[in-house]
Structure 1
Amino acid sequence: MPNVLKVYLENGQTKAFRFESSTTVKDIVLTLQEKLSIRSIAHFALVLEEQYNLAKIHLLHEEELIAQVVQKRDSHDYRCLFRVCFVPRDPLDLLQEDPVAFEYLYLQVTLGLGEIMV
């Protein structure tokens, strides 16, 4: 499907987004913020994960155009993930201000530890 970006979430779900030539990374992040009811969006970003080297991810700048990201990278070699990239200084503050974002961070950390232990 051309002009559709699949974004993988920490809970195993994927979200598909139709995009146009002017759609930015920030547009996708803000749409995810609304769909997931996240208030503390400043901690989140989209990243590209290399399929064959899971330890290597590329942080996408919020002003990047999705069309250029998809063109630049061979889409078969990368997955787009919605991640907590900017960890709060005190996660308990995040729990109090945005429990949904805290749960997302918790899932990300615990699932990541599971991958390391395997």
Structure 2
Amino acid sequence: MCPNLFEMRLEKMCVLFIVVLSALVSTIDCNLTPRNIALHNYPLEEHTVQTSDGYLLSTYRIPALIAKRNGVVLLQHGFTLSSDVWLLRGPKEDLPYLLADAGYDVWLGNHRGNEYGL
């Protein structure tokens, strides 16, 4: 009887965890990437890329801020993340801003399965 009681409690805890996690995920603030870029007065272009199977992905471009352009940089987040991860600390520390300030054309990509993929 004890092992079954433990298993039942564990199962209930797992269900509760999933419900709470689902509620948190559904309240995640979308469009954080464009709002963070605009907040710091950087130019922004939003582009939608359609994959060969019809999936839509949002990508963001921060154009180089100086006349001398040094090239193009694509920053791609890791698994389960989004382009938001590149913009958490502000212009003095975040790589996209530093690169744009240095004359690079910065693109922030997104994978499928986050708030920027449709």
Q: With structure 2 as the length reference, what TM-score do the two structures score?
A: 0.28
Of structures 1 and 2, the one with the larger relative CO (CA 8 A, separation 6+) is: 1
Q: Which has the higher strand share?
A: 1
Q: With structure 1 as the length reference, what TM-score do the two structures score?
A: 0.28
